[in-house]
Structures are given as structure tokens and as C-alpha cells.
Structure 1
Amino acid sequence: MFIAQAFKFRHEFWRYIVVSLLIILIHTLAQVPFMVALIFKEGPDILAQGTDQSALFSVLEPNLNLFLLLLPFAAALGALFLLLKAVHGQNRKSITTARPKIDWKRVWFAFGLWGALTLIITLVDYYVSPENYLLNFKLVPFLILVVIAVIFVPLQTSFEEYLFRGYLMQGFGTLAKNRWFPLLMTSVIFGGLHYFNPEVEKIGDIAMVYYIGTGLFLGILTLMDDGLELALGFHAANNLISALLVTADWTAFQTHSIFKDLSDPAAGFDILIPVLVVYPILLFVFAKKYKWTNWKERLFGEVVDTSHAAEMEELGN
């Protein structure tokens, strides 16, 4: 099973704390180029005048802004893989899947499904409410955006999935020896780290329902499917299509996207529908395709350390 694989490696919980702190440090240091670029453009007072985040993210040229915002995630992902090996003696496959090898067909299926649905939903909304959109397309900046986004957005989303649904899911799972605790903890921490996003600043604290709910959805995908593949594909499609298709003045990703959203975001059905309607439907689709069973055990059951038993069996043979 996905979580129980961590028992085969050095899994004392202090190791997870040390690695997490190092990852935070590396991610923070990798934000220095963004800060330097802001100071170079606007002067040192830009970081001390209480400017809201959405305004900070609009200071730089959008493609440069996106690159510098995504750079820390790429650095942190590389650091996570290096520390995983150095501190835990663990390989990347073991925090990706319980299958013999990573199932890339699952990654692409989730990516294609959610990417297509996001595209359809956006185009339908554009057709119904064209006054809420401004055509923002400029060929050369958009092509540069495509290169940056295709390379760096999957690194950003993969870092979040490997950290929360992979690394910390296994860490909390081996600590609590059950599945519900890591599912809850990783979802709350994942949502909590989005609290300082400009979207929350604009919409209000109710936006946390979406972020924590998304964390729960991705955690359920991971536990039910015994691996990160579906979560990796979904998350990459969600952020990549958003970066390329629609931007807004109040989002973290202010890009040279095709459309610009002019509507005033409201806390309501836009927050609740994905969590209460769309995600359950997607879970149903995935469950049917991959024949998921035994939901209670997979989401709430115990995590058993079978590593010693396997070693004894191997010695006996």
C-alpha cells in the first residue's frame, strides 16, 4: 500500500520535520530573485509599504513575473528529491505510487479529463456571459507564456503533490498508523498555505473551503488509487489551463493568457460547486474507470508496518 511503503525506509518522524524545514528554507531563498526584481523595478520601498499581493504580482512584466513566481517551486522539488534520498534513503518511485512503476497513462488521463472539462466550462461561460471577459491574446507574449508555463507549471504542481500527497501523507501515515489522519492533516496544511494567496484576500476566508476541499479531493484520489498519478495529472491541468486560458487582476498568476476575467469574484456557488458537485462527480468517474472498492478501509483503515515481516519471509526463503 502507498503509505506503508515508507516503513521500508528511514521513517522516524523527526526526519520529516527536518526535511520540511529545509524545504521551506530553500523555497524562501529561491524567492530572492523575485524580490530583487521588484526592488530593481520600483525601489526598496515596494516591500515595506503594505502593498496588497495582487498589486505586487502586477508590478513586473507578466511572463517574467510568472517565471520568478514558479522558480522557487522548481528549486524546492529538486531539493525534496535530493533530501528524500539523503535523509530517508528513499527513491522517487516510492513516494509516487505503490505500483511496480509509475503509471503515466493515469497521469495523462486525469490531465486530459480535467483539462478538457475546464476548457469546456470556460468557453460555455464566455458564451453565456461575454461581458465578463476581455480578449487578451497577443501572439508573441502568449508563445513565451506557453514555453514558461509548459515547463514550470507542472514542476510547481508536482512539487505540491509530492510534498503533501506523497511525502507528508506517508510521514503522517507512519506516525499515526492510519489513513484518515494524514488525509486530514495534509489537506488542512495544503489549504492553509494558500491562505495568503491574493484570491483569498479578494474573496474572503470562505475561499479556504475551496482550497481545503481541493486538498481533500486530491488526498482521496491518492489513497483510493494507491498513488499520486491521478493527483499529478489533475493538478497540472488545473494550473496550466488556468495560466494559459484566463487571467484576472486579483489572481497570483497574472499572465498573457487568451482571456482576462473582468467579473467581480463573489463568495458563493463558485466556491461550493467544485467541492460539493464537481469533485464528487470526478471521484465517481475515476472510481468506475479504475474499479475502486473498499472505500472505508482505504480512507479510514489502519496502516500496517509489514516491512519486518517481508524481511523475515525473504530470509526464510
Structure 2
Amino acid sequence: MLKTLLSFDYTAHERFVAPAREKSEVWRLVLGLCLVVAIVWIGGPLIWELLSYGLSEEDYLALANDFTTLVLPQSVLLLLYSFGLVWLAVATVTLTMHKRRPETLLGSPTIAWMQAKFVFVALLLLMLALLVLPPYQSDPPLIRGLEFGHWLALLTPALIALFIQTSAEEVLFRGYMQQQLAARFNSPQVWMLIPSALFGLAHYAPGSYGGNAWLVVIWAGVFGLIAADLTARSGTLGPAIALHFVTNISALLLIAPQGEMSGLALYQYPFSAADEAELRAMLPFDFAIMLVCWLAARLALRR
């Protein structure tokens, strides 16, 4: 088992990359990414236009006013569901620019689903153990977020929204980008590092994280490398989506920092993401948990 954990067996990655090889020119990837950005940029205002017709003026203004802080459940849900635009954009680009079916971004759907189930169960058990077993505790203690009944009522739409968000990010970074780069370049230093670096930079938010903004970028970049590694080992996006999904359940639905993006959390830390000292103290623990989750996912996959 130790030998397996120390290995870098990426033979399954070839099956994952194969559909991208026919049209793997770099210009197609660059233009495709520009089109993805354009579709999302155009689609965002259209969502707000539809909401202006579907909501009362009071509800629309409350949603619009909160969208910069995201402390209301409906604001967080809207943000997460809006990642459906990323799915639409990547699928459109895959069809038009690369002349292949969007489901090829996942690898074999049957195998992806099976692997995702294995990893999801393993990580869920790990997270539950971390929540209920000593020495896990919060000092100072956690504070209550949503009331349990309200949280439970929102749980199903929140889980659907989280699945859309996490799978959309994985399809873009570990699906589209990783596949197209690996089809053109054999080196993992290209097809792992470039999407992971871009994924990290996408999390650069000095307005939210203050002086820790680059530490959060590094955290997200390492997460991207772990997700890329799981994708290369398994030959599908299933494990990476499961890892991302469970991670965001923990960070957005169970315990979140106060303030921005806390609207769906059952509990909250007694500090916000802008509290630089508290966040900096928590990040090493988050790094350790991320590595343990990677190992747990690999054990579940036997890879």
C-alpha cells in the first residue's frame, strides 16, 4: 500500500486525454478560453434581467444589495447556481472549437460516477470523524449560523448548487484545460501546473482576504494540483469533483467564517475572512486536512 501511495501511475490519464488529441492546437485552447469568459460575461447580466421579471422589486433589491457580501442564503445560492453558465460555456466551446461531445470532458461517465461515489463516501466519513472526534474543537467556540430547521429546508437546493459550482470548476480547469494541454504537451509540468496556477489566481481576492490573499491563492493552487493528480490517476473527473464537493460542503454549508459567503452555513467561526491573524492561523490546518483528503481519496481508489 505504501508503494502505491508513493507512486505516480498516470497510465489512466491517456484514456482521459485521448478525445482531445485530434484538435489540440494551442490556438484553439486560447480562443476557447476567451469564448468561455465572453459567454459568462454576457450571461451574468441576463440572469439579473430574468430575476428582475421573476422577483418582486423588494426581493430583487435585497438580493442585489447583498450580492457583494453574500450573507443571505438566497445570494449564495444565486452565485453557486450561476456557475451553470461555466458549464454551458465549456460545453459550447468543446462542441464548436474542438468538435467533440461535452461528456468527453468527464472521461467515461460510468467509471467517473463509480469513482466519485467511492471518494465521496471516504471523504464524508473522514469529515464526520474530524467533526466529532477529539481533539477537534474551536477556540473560541463556534457561533450559530442558520437555524437548523431553516438550514435543513435549504439543504437540498444548496447541495444541488454546490454540485453545479464544483463540477463546473473541475470541468473547466481539470477537464477542458488539462485535457487540451495534455493532448499537446506530454509533461505534467505543463498540464498540471498551468491549470492549477490559473485556478489559484482565480481565488485572488484582496478585498476579502486582505494580506492573506496570496496565501489563499497558494492554497487554491495546491488544491488544483491535488485535483489534477487524482484526475490523472483515475482517468476521469469523478474523484476531483467528489473532493471539491465535500470540501465546499464543509466550508460553505457546515462551518464558514463570518461575513462574506456565510449565508448557507449552519455554524460560523467567530471571525471573518478579513481577520488576517485568525485566517493565517487556520490555513496550516486547512493545508493538512487537504493533504489527508488527498490520501483518503487515493486509498478509496486504490491508486
Pairwise TM-score range, normalised by the shorter structure: 0.7 to 0.9
Partner of 2:223: 214
1:28 partnered with 2:41: yes
**In the superposition, relative to structure 1, how do residues 241 and 145 fare at CA in structure 2: closer, same or farther (>3 Å)?**
farther
Secondary structure in structure 1 of the residue aligned to 2:104: helix
How far off is 1:144 after superposition? 4.2
CA-to-aligned-CA distance 1:68-121 (integer Å, 9 cap, x gap): 212331122123223212221212342212x58433121122222223323432
- Which of 155, 177, 182 is residue 186 of structure 2 equivalent to? 177
- Which of 254, 260, 264 is residue 262 of structure 2 equivalent to? 254
1:17 partnered with 2:30: yes
Distance of 1:199 and 1:121 partners within structure 2? 27
Distance of 2:41 and 2:239 partners within structure 1? 28
* Map 1:3-152 → 2, pairs under 5 A: 4-32=17-45, 33=47, 41=61, 56-58=68-70, 62-97=72-107, 99=108, 101-123=110-132, 128-129=137-138, 131-152=140-161
- Which of 272, 277, 281 is residue 284 of structure 2 equivalent to? 272
Partner of 2:195: 186
**In the superposition, relative to structure 1, how do residues 283 and 236 fare at CA in structure 2: closer, same or farther (>3 Å)?**
closer
| Letter aligned with residue 104 of structure 2 | S
| Letter aligned with residue 220 of structure 1 | D
TM-score, normalisation: structure 2: 0.78
Contact 1:126 1:133 in 2 (8 A): no
Distance of 2:20 and 2:264 partners within structure 1? 46
| Letter aligned with residue 290 of structure 1 | L
**In the superposition, relative to structure 1, how do residues 22 and 7 fare at CA in structure 2: closer, same or farther (>3 Å)?**
closer
Partner of 1:311: none
Partner of 1:290: 301
1:161 partnered with 2:181: no
How far off is 1:141 after superposition? 3.2
- Matched residue count: 279
Contact 1:188 1:212 in 2 (8 A): yes
Contact 2:230 2:239 in 1 (8 A): yes
Contact 2:166 2:241 in 1 (8 A): yes
TM-score, normalisation: structure 1: 0.75
Quick one: higher RCO (CA 8 Å, sep 6+), 1 or 2? 2
Distance of 1:128 and 1:248 partners within structure 2? 15
- Kindly name which structure, 1 or 2, has the bigger radius of gyration based on alpha carbons: 1
Distance of 1:63 and 1:126 partners within structure 2? 31
Distance of 1:76 and 1:100 partners within structure 2? 19
Distance of 1:198 and 1:146 partners within structure 2? 29
Secondary structure in structure 1 of the residue aligned to 2:143: strand
Q: Which runs of 5+ in 1 are unaligned?
A: 47-53, 293-317
User: What percentage of residue pairs aligned between the two structures are identical?
Assistant: 19
Secondary structure in structure 2 of the residue aligned to 1:205: helix
Partner of 2:8: none
Distance of 1:130 and 1:266 partners within structure 2? 11
| Letter aligned with residue 41 of structure 1 | L
Contact 1:206 1:267 in 2 (8 A): no
**In the superposition, relative to structure 1, how do residues 76 and 41 fare at CA in structure 2: closer, same or farther (>3 Å)?**
same
CA-to-aligned-CA distance 1:18-51 (integer Å, 9 cap, x gap): 221121122223433569889963899x7xxxxx
| Letter aligned with residue 186 of structure 1 | P
Distance of 1:25 and 1:130 partners within structure 2? 45
| Letter aligned with residue 5 of structure 1 | A
How far off is 1:134 after superposition? 1.0
How far off is 1:261 after superposition? 1.3
Q: For the aligned residues, what is the CA RMSD?
A: 3.3
* Map 1:289-308 → 2, pairs under 5 A: 289-292=300-303
| Letter aligned with residue 68 of structure 2 | L
| Letter aligned with residue 69 of structure 1 | L
Q: Please identify, of 212-221 and 253-262, the stretch whose mean Cα deviation from structure 2 is larger.
A: 253-262
